[in-house]
């Protein structure tokens, strides 16, 4: 049983990052935090630690349930942490990829000024919350 593991090695082992170098760079860039404080790649993880990991536009909140020093397959890796990211944040992240794409019929040419204004109004109204009215 492993007693101490560096944070970069742990994040790589549980498959949050593809390489250990990427995990180290994320730590250096301040995208890995514990209790709101940036942590270095050499920080030693303990069972029960809650970590905030930002990867691209996705933010995850994970709780360490067991330590893992070597990379294992994905089915075994998920047994070593608990994803406690709030559901609202997960929904926001997933909804970003369901944005409607405006398409124009082939051969209609460029949009006129009027078309452009209508497109802009449509997009502005799409991104407004119900509370903004």
Q: Evaluate whether residue 70 is within a structural domain.
A: yes
Domain extent for 22: 5-98
- Reading the chain (133 residues) residue by residue, the pLDDT tens digits are 678 899 999 999 999 999 999 999 999 999 999 998 999 999 999 999 999 999 877 889 999 999 998 999 999 999 999 999 887 777 666 665 565 666 778 888 888 999 889 888 877 776 555 555 4
Q: Evaluate whether residue 107 is within a structural domain.
A: no
Q: Evaluate whether residue 85 is within a structural domain.
A: yes
Residues 6+ apart with CB under 8 A from 13: 5, 68, 69, 70, 71, 72, 77, 80
- Tokens 């760079």 sit on residue: 25
Q: What is the tally of structural domains in the chain?
A: 1
Q: Give pTM, 2 decimals.
A: 0.68
For residue 13, give the CATH number of its domain: 3.10.290.10
């Amino acid at each position: 049983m492993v007693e101490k593991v560096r944070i970069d090695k742990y994040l790589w082992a549980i498959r949050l990052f593809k390489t250990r170098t990427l995990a180290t760079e994320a730590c250096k860039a301040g995208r890995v935090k514990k209790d709101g404080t940036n942590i270095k790649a050499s920080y030693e993880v303990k069972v029960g630690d809650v970590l905030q990991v930002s990867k691209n536009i996705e933010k995850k909140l994970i709780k360490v349930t067991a330590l893992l020093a070597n990379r294992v397959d994905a089915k075994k890796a998920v047994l070593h942490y608990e994803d406690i990211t709030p559901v609202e944040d997960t929904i926001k992240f997933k909804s970003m990829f369901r944005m409607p794409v405006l398409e124009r019929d082939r051969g209609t040419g460029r949009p006129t000024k009027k078309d452009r204004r209508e497109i802009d109004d449509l997009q502005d109204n799409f991104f407004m919350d119900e509370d903004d009215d």
